[in-house]
Each structure stands twice: as C-alpha cells, then as structure tokens.
Structure 1
C-alpha cells in the first residue's frame, strides 16, 4: 500500500534497495522496493541501504508477535462463546431451559449479551488498527457495566429478578469490555515494537484506510456508550421502583420458581348459620388489577356491600415475577390456587374479572367448581376471540418492544419530563412500558390460541352449571362490534344460572370508569355475595 504522506527524512521514506554498484555506473538504474522498476513515485527517491524494511511492507505487522496472535485467537473464542450464550438467552424468552428461568423479564441479560457481541465484533474487525477513541470508549463502557453489576448485586429485588443468568451476563459483558482495553493496548505496543525493529522507527502516520477504520470504530463506540448509559439509567430507575413495598405479600409458586403477589382487604365474616361469607376474588383485565379496577370494589367494600376481597397480580404484572415460558392461563390459575393455599385463604369465592381476565377466572372457577359461589364477567373476552391476542404480528411487535425495553427511553422520558412515579411504573399508567409486562403479554400471545384456548374450552364443560352468573357489557363495544355483541351473549351461557346481563349504554370497555357502570357493578356484586 502506498502511504498518503511522506516522512520528515527522505532517507527514512526511501522505497528502494541497495544499488547494484556503488554509484559509479551512471548508466545503471537502481531498483526499488524488492527489485521493482522505479516509477513516478519512487524515481527521485534514494535507494534504501540501511537494511530496514519499507513501512508499507506486509511483513511489518503486530501479528509477528505471538502475544498479539494469542489475544486475537482468544477474542474469536470469546465471540463464539458469547454468541452461543446469546442464542440460548434468545431461546429462553420463548422456552425456558431448566435452571435458566429469569424471574425478571429476561430482556436485560439478553441486552448485555448483545452489547458484548457488538463489543467483541468491533474489536476483531479493527484489531490491527488500535486507536485512543476505541481504548477510551471501551473503558467508558466497562465503567458503566461495572456500575450495572454493582446495582444488580446490591439491590436485593433486582438481584432476585435477574438471577444468576442476569448476573453472569453483566459480569461477562464487563470482563469483555476490559479485555478489549487490554487488547487495544497490547496491539498498539506490538505495532510500535515491530515498526521499530523492522523499519528503524515508530510509524506516526495513518493511511486513508486506517483513518476510515478509526472513524468507523469511533462512531460505533459512541453508539455503544449511549446504549450502556441508557441501560444504567433504566437500571437505576428499576432500583428505585424496587423500594415500593407491595400491599399484601409475595408467595412462591410452581416449585418455588417464581413469586405471585396476593393481597386481601377486610376480615372474614360468617352468616347466622356459622358459614363463612364469600370472599370476592378479583382478576384484572389487560392491565394490573390495582390500576383502577380495584377502585370500584374498594368503594363497594367501604359502602358495606361486600365484607372482604382479595386480588392478585398475574405473572409479570404489578409486583409478581415473570413465570417460565411457555405459560398459559391454566398455569396462572394453578399458581393462584397455590398462592391462596400458602396464604391460608379459604373459600367460598365470588370471582370477578374483566377483559381477558375473564379467560383466567373461568378456568379458575371450573377447577374450583365447589368453592366458587358466583361469577361476574365485566365485558370479558370470549375464547373464540383469542385469535386476536395470538396474532403473529402482535407477537413480533411485543418481542421487538421487549428487546429495546432495557434502554428505557420511554420510561426515562416519563420519569424526567412527565413526573411519572414508581406507582405509575409498577402498576399504573406506565406499567405497560416495563420489560416484565411486555414479557407477560408475549407469553400470553404465544399460547393464546392453542394451550389457553383448549383450557378455557375444557373449563366450559367442567363448570358447575348451578353457579350464579352475572354478565356486564360495554354498551359502546356492543353497538360498534356485532361479533363482540354475539360473543357477550354467548358468555351468558357459561352456566345455566344467569342472574342478569347488563349492557351499560355509555360505558367503554372498562365499564367501571363511568358512574353508571360503577353503580351497576356494585349492585350486581352485592347480589352475588349475599346470594
């Protein structure tokens, strides 16, 4: 390769070999650069007679040193290991291997491993072109990864959610960033050593190709620094949210693989015959149950309409951990049964649910047919409409959102610019932005039209026909969607004991958001509880 710049001393920049004679033969032209005929670039340059190689000679390379070659081989090995780990983490989002379940979203460990892959790939691509921007960029990345590692290990809740998989991923990412700093320094040293040994001096110039490589690597390192800063900021936000204590308690379920959050309000009461009065068991809709759905039930409790109610967060929502993948509605119902048993809660139950929560509550009711004394479905989803939840395009978008969720761009903006609180992020209006929530919805999407649909279809045949049933529908949805109206009517046949079907005219899907809807819901709930 021909350099773009000449040297300070012409004798150091010559490209020829020793003359064949001592300059006495004026008719004999000296050859240059390994016997090549002189050209317009080299004709006026004096021949080399010092025994050193040309700086552009391919033999002048840091790869001459075994230590540099060993570092490159190790870099390739680490890249292969990281790729295999990355593939395993990608698979675990959809199917959790044994001992690989993350009680958090599973997207953070995947992000750290993706960052590691990028870091090692850049190091290999620009291995022989060390530069200060790459060295300092790797140091900055390593610093923030080390900070992330400290946060994950120090904050108990995050440590539990990420588990050994998340901790191993961030530790590996930190070590690889530090390794890149080491390789950059060693290659720079090896390059200097070989240049001094073979050309007689340290090279201070760069070719156009080398400048392009340095520029490209610098831009990539800037992007990586921005990514790792966002990861750290999101992790700090998570550590703040981890300090928000849940109402009630978390209970281990499914062989102690994860925890389910369960809370109860009020004391158990008994009728004049000494029988325990029913406890209302709430099943939220698309969002955590604490986000407004519990409000109207609490009002009913405050008004004396009901004496006691319990609610829980499905896996991945609110204060509950994510469950292993795949995870169906029936598995959630079994987990709820286990949590109720561990909490010492006793039947009978009046099950109240909304939206897609109706699928979960119907499965629970069928599996506890002698313990459930009433069912209320609030604009609930029908099993024939689960195909809408299971759309492949929706699943891909959820996966894509989950992959970038550790960057926390929306959560950070909400916290900084809109004053979003930990309550907003854990169970409120910003909960849908969290990785746990997205993972739960992705799991729901993957099995909605297969496992879950089979479970709820079976539940319909198992359900005790004498169980009292109340259906409350959104007037807006019923008027604008004939299929929804048809399916709401079919839900009135879940049992043979329909007490009422109320269509609240001006109510949206979340019926309880209107005054009329709250009145209807409280009235019907009182009728179910008091029998």
Structure 2
C-alpha cells in the first residue's frame, strides 16, 4: 500500500493546478478539503490521496482489494476443506463402511461426484484471480448436467434407495459447487473490472501470455470435467433402465435391514415331493442366472429334480451391495436369513460351481442337519484363495470401480452390441456394473484372511456321512495342481458318491453336451442317495 501511496503522491504533485481527464470529482468540505463518502472501492486507500491512475500491470490493480471478493475466496476454501473431508470418508468407505455411511449401490458414484466437486474447487482457487468467459460457459454446461443427474437419482425410486443419503448428498453437493463456481467466476470478474476502472481509469481488455495460458488450462480441464459429467448422465440413464427389470423372485431385507438380497424358488412343495430335498444353487464368478440356473431349470423341467432355489450374492444380479468388509461366511449368513424370511426349509442339496463351491461348503457346515447332499461342479479349492486375494487384482478392481461411473464399456455395449438390460443385470455384461466390481473387491480384500479361516473351519465341522458328488473339467485337469486339488475336494466327507472327469469339457461343464449329460445323471444319483441316507419325515 505504501508503494501505491508514493506513486499517487508523485502523480498528484504534477497536477496541482487543474483537474485532469478521468479524475473523479470531489465535493469540498467547509475546511476546503475534498471529501467523498467511503465505499467498498475507496475505503482500502488513504482518504487524502489524489486521483492519478496506475498502470494496468501494477500489482496493486487486483480484485483482492475488495472485501466481497476476499469473502468469496474464503468461502471457496471452506468448501474445499469440507469436500476433501467428505472425499476421504467416501474413499475409506469403499474398504471399510463407517457407521451410517453404507450405500446399497457400489458407492463409486458418490465418490466420483465428490471427486468432481473437489477438483472443480481446486481449479477455481488455483486460477481465482483470472476469471474468463469460457470458464463461465463451461461451468454453466457442467451445472446443467449435474442438475440433470440429481433429478435422475431422485426421480427413480430404486436408484434413490441404492444410492441412499450418501449418494444423494454427493450429487447435490457436486451440483451446488458447480453453480457456486459460476457465481464465483462472475463475482471475481466484476471485482476485477471495478478495480481496473477505479485504479486505471478503464477496464483492461488485454491479457498477458500467462493469463492466456491459464484460460487455456481452464478450458481443457473444464472440458474434461464436462465430458465426464456427460458420461455420468448417460450411465445413470442406463441404470434407470436396468433397475426397471423386475426380479424373478423376491428381495429380502437382511443384516438388520441394511440391504436386500434376491432369492427365488421354483416348484411347489407337495405331498408327493415332501421328503425330496430342494436343490440350493450357488453360482460361480458371475450371476447364477447366467451360469448354472438355466441348466438346473432344464433338469427341473425334465423331472430330474422336484424343486430348486437360487439367490444372488450381495452385489450381484438383483442383490444390493453389503457393507465392507464382507466375507464368504457373511454371505452364507444372509442367505440363511433370506431363506428363513421366505419360510424355506430343508432338506437341501447344495449345488455349486467354481468359487461358489466355497460358499456352498460354508452353508453346509452351518446347516449340518438340513443339508443332505453336496454337489460340486469343477469347484475352486481354498488353496486358490491367494489368487482371489492377490493385491494386484485388488488394485485393478479398485481402479475399475473408480472408473465405472463413466460407463465406457456399458455404454459401448448398449450402443454398438445391442446389450439389453437383462445382459447388464444378470447376463454377460453384469461384470461391468459398479455393484459387481464392488462385490469382487470385497471378496478380494478378505480372501486370504476372513474367508480362508471360515472355509478351514467349515472343513473341520462338516458332517462325515453327507453324500458328495464332484464333476471336474477335463481341460482344467490337465493342470497337475488343479487335479490334485480336485481330488482333495472329493474327500471333504467320508461318503463320496462319485467323482467324474468330463474329458473335453471346459470349466463351465454345463456348456458341454457330454458335461450336461453327466451332470444331470449325477444329480439324479445324489437326490436318490440323499433320500436313502437321511430320510426326512
């Protein structure tokens, strides 16, 4: 301020005799001195100074001279601090759900919106003193897109339930910040113009090379943010279509009404089949509706089995995501709860494939008197849990989850490959959803700790006289390690009904003609064996 005072004093000494063009007229007070009512534009400078103008390049010509502009910047700093704290909580909640912060959806959308809001605040603060028209235009477009996203989430009941208050609050926050940034840009532009007119006599229309570089960076970053928002909107639109697909069974609220899982049963309980066990399916990597259920449904139609039930593990198909961490044993517990809520009782023959075999074995160990048979289709041995829990795989899943709200693969599938909502919910594209990725990340995080301990305990608890059937893939059996593990799984109880190796069948044995024949025959065998071994009255 002292440099500003000296400059204005030097200028005033050369213009004592007459007023110059551009001077602001002043009224004289009774003592012969000029006076002017203090305003926001004048109170920051000494009242006795004269009205000489500064160079437009003088550092004193700044919008920061105005308290209103400084207040806007302070508000932006406060918003950034709040946004960063919320962003941190959401990042942590992906791995460990804090109390009251669980999202029935993946939680990746909430994280993405908060990331967008935080980045927008950082951009606005970095280039606070260089407002521009392009920044205002891009900001208005971004605000409109985020407001549309907010409307979509609030208007679709199922999405509103999945996102919960965490997701809704995050998108509202992002939309509010985008509107605020437009206001901030205009406020700083006004302050800059006011100070230029007051201190230099005119609005500065020139820009330095540095300012042009800043404007260019603003445009590029905001263009990227806008493209991301367009993809968010497109993915949300696709989700609004997908959630309209009605489940084949019913959703049951489990785990203290924290989330819902989908369970469906096919076939009626009659006097003729009252003593016949019900098949309880557990899918492999993807939704059971895409893998094992069609084969079992054919067996049901052929009369091989009288009744079967299947469910979607948390985060897969029509089921919500569970709070983190979530182990295989926790999934088994919520399956038991869903069966109880549906008034479904045993006897059960658990039929599973691949990684689903771990879940079925846990269920069998926790329902010893209700499980009358275990049918394993090319099962995954617990020794391979280290592959599921591989840190590199976990990082890749996390990265996929963070990018999932962009929906690049889902949108491409819908536009170019004509993928339907069935494909995206329970079909071949289900692995692309944020919910599915979150479920697999949860599986990865506890595979070698909680899940491994649960499976080991289950092996010690399992009833020794429970009939077991194992059918293995001939192609996978070419791996000596896999063959050794398959043989080990054939001894999880003392009663092995059969162990078959289908020569040319892949891991999904039911997709092979000979494999389907063997599976259906062994299904008949284990139903018969379970009835003779442990009859139910």
TM-score (norm 2): 0.89
Counterpart residue number, 1:343: 342
The alpha-carbon deviation at position 19 of structure 1 amounts to 9.8
2-side partners of 1:511 and 1:119: how far apart? 51
2:192 is paired with a residue whose SS is helix
Kindly report structure 1 stretches of 4+ aligned residues shifted beyond 6 Å.
19-22
| 2:300 maps to 1:301 | yes
Please say if residues 135 and 184 of structure 1, whose CA atoms lie closer than 8 Å, have aligned partners that are also in contact. Answer: yes
What is the rounded CA distance, in whole Å, between the counterparts of 2:8 and 2:402 in structure 1?
Answer: 54
Q: Deviations over 1:135-157 (max 9, x none)?
A: 11111111111111111011011
Deviations, residues 330-363 of structure 1 (Å, cap 9, x unaligned) = 0000000000000111110000000000000000
The 1:279–1:193 alpha-carbon spacing in structure 2 relative to 1, beyond 3 Å, is same
Residue of structure 1 equivalent to 2:407: 408
The whole-number CA distance in structure 1 between the counterparts of 2:513 and 2:183 is 66
Residue in 1 that maps onto 2:82:
81
Contact 1:269 1:276 in 2 (8 A): no
Alpha carbons 2:8, 2:52 under 8 Å: kept = no
Q: Indicate conservation of the 8 Å contact 2:8/2:53, yes or no.
A: no
Alignment match, 1:25: none
The verdict on how the C-alpha distance between 1:514 and 1:52 changes in structure 2, with shifts beyond 3 A counting, is same
Tell me what 2:535 maps to: none
Distance in 2, matches of 1:422 and 1:261, equals: 17
Q: Distance in 1 between matches of 2:13 and 2:160?
A: 74
Cα distance 1:457–1:63, how it changes in 2: closer, same or farther (>3 A)? same
Partners of 2:283 and 2:291 within 8 A in 1? no
In structure 1, how many angstroms separate the alpha carbons of the residues matched to 2:271 and 2:308?
A: 14
Structure-2 change in CA distance of 1:307 and 1:181 (3 Å): same
1:15 shift after superposition: 12
Q: CA deviation at 1:396?
A: 0.2
1:268: Cα distance to partner? 1.3
CA contact (8 A) 2:365 2:461 kept: yes
Which of 498, 502, 505 is the aligned partner of 1:504?
502
Aligned match of 1:201: 202
CA distance in 2, matches of 1:223, 1:118: 11
Q: Distance between the aligned counterparts of 1:509 and 1:305, measured in 2?
A: 23
- Match of 1:325? 324
Gaps of 5+ in 1: 1-13, 23-48
CA–CA distance in structure 2, aligned partners of residues 19 and 82 of structure 1: 49
> CA contact under 8 A between 1:15 and 1:54: conserved in structure 2?
no
1:465-502 CA deviation, whole Å, 9 max, x = no partner? 110000010000001x1111000000011110000000
2:318–2:425: 8 Å Cα contact kept in structure 1?
Answer: yes
> Could you say which residue in structure 2 is the equivalent of 1:518?
516
Task: List aligned pairs for 1:373-452, cutoff 5 A.
Answer: 373-452=372-451
CA distance in 1, matches of 2:138, 2:121: 13
**Structure 1 residue 202: Cα displacement:** 1.0
Distance of 1:445 and 1:126 partners within structure 2: 41
Contact 2:378/2:473 (CA < 8 Å) preserved in 1?
Answer: yes
Aligned pairs, number: 490
Seen in structure 2, the aligned counterparts of structure 1 residues 192 and 490 have a Cα distance that, compared at 3 Å, is same
**What's the counterpart of residue 101 of structure 2?**
100
